Structure 1
Amino acid sequence: MEIRKSRMEDIEKIMCVIHEAQESMRANGIPQWQDGYPNEEVISQDIKTGNSYVLVENENVIGTAYVVAGHEPNYDYIEDGKWLNDYPYVVVHRIAISKDYKGKDCARQLMAFAESVAGMHHLHDIRIDTHHQNLPMRKFLSKLGYHACGTIYLKNGDKRIVYQKLF
């Protein structure tokens, strides 16, 4: 398996992985990503900015994530908690793994890659958010050493629980 920058020709395969994640969340009663987000336009923009990555095995896209060293405006206001620090950070968004590769350490590989991106930028802080009802993701993040820091609101008003890891 390898992680590389996404290319425009990957969009269809990335969307397949995202659709599988959406279906899995729907089947588990998680309302996250049930409103058509993320769509091809969002993924295309991620690719254009150079912050979209895919996990590939034998030329098959089996995972995807948006990873960027930069500021996330939605993280400026936090309720019911606080960030562990105010240092620059790496943000991970839109992480998804193909249903055939769930439980095979693929998401952990993408999160380890995010840590390597942080290292390349001399940062030691990663932030990520998920829906409060996305218990599998919350458990996964806690297992990796991420700390639940509070609640943020997306531009559309949706609530998310935010996690942070210092390393």
Structure 2
Amino acid sequence: MKIRKSRMEDIEKIMCVIHEAQESMRANGIPQWQDGYPNEEVISQDIKIGNNYVLVEDENIIGTAYIVAGHEPSYDYIEGGQWLNDHPYVVVHRIAVRKDYKGKGAARYMMEFAEKIPREHQLQDIRIDTHHDNIPMRTFLAKLGYHACGTIYLDNGDKRIAYQKLF
């Protein structure tokens, strides 16, 4: 497996991965990503600004994620807790893997890649959020050493549990 920056010609395969993730969440009663988000327009923008990555095995795209060292406005307000610090950070969004790669270390590989980025930018932490009902993701993040810090709100008002890991 290897990770590389996404290219515009990857969009169709990235969207297949995302659609599988949406279907998996729907089947498990998780309302996350059930409103048409993320769509091709969002992923195209991620690629254009250079922050979308794909996980590739044997030339097949098996995972995708948005990773950036930068500020996330929806993380400015947190309730029911607090961030572990207020330092600059790396953000991971829109992480998904193909269903036939779930449980095979693909998501862990992508998160390990994402965790290298703070070090490259002399940053000390990484943040990510997920839906309260997304128990598989919440369990996964806890196993990787992420701390649930509180609730944040997306631009559309949806609530998410915010996680942070320090290095």
RMSD over equivalenced CA pairs, Å = 0.4
Q: 2:95, 2:113 → 1: CA distance?
A: 12
Q: TM-score, normalised by structure 2?
A: 0.99
Question: What does residue 72 of structure 2 align with?
Answer: 72
Question: Which consecutive segments of 4 or more residues in structure 1 shift more than 3 A?
Answer: none
Q: Deviations over 1:35-83 (max 9, x none)?
A: 0000000000000010000000011000000000000000000000000
Q: Deviations over 1:59-117 (max 9, x none)?
A: 10000000000000000000000000000000000000000100011111111111111
Identity, % of aligned positions:
82
Q: 1:118, 1:41 → 2: CA distance?
A: 27
Q: 2:9, 2:117 → 1: CA distance?
A: 23
- The answer on 1:111 being equivalent to 2:111 is yes
Question: What does residue 29 of structure 1 align with?
Answer: 29
Question: What does residue 44 of structure 1 align with?
Answer: 44
Paired residues in the alignment total: 167
Q: How does 1:114-125 map to 2 (within 5 A)?
A: 114-125=114-125
Give the partner amino acid of 1:112.
Answer: E
Q: Provide structure 1 residue ranges, at least 5 long, that are not aligned to the other structure.
A: none
Question: What does residue 160 of structure 2 align with?
Answer: 160
Question: What does residue 126 of structure 1 align with?
Answer: 126
Q: Deviations over 1:117-159 (max 9, x none)?
A: 1111111200000000000000000000000000000000000
SS of alignment partner, residue 138 of structure 1: helix
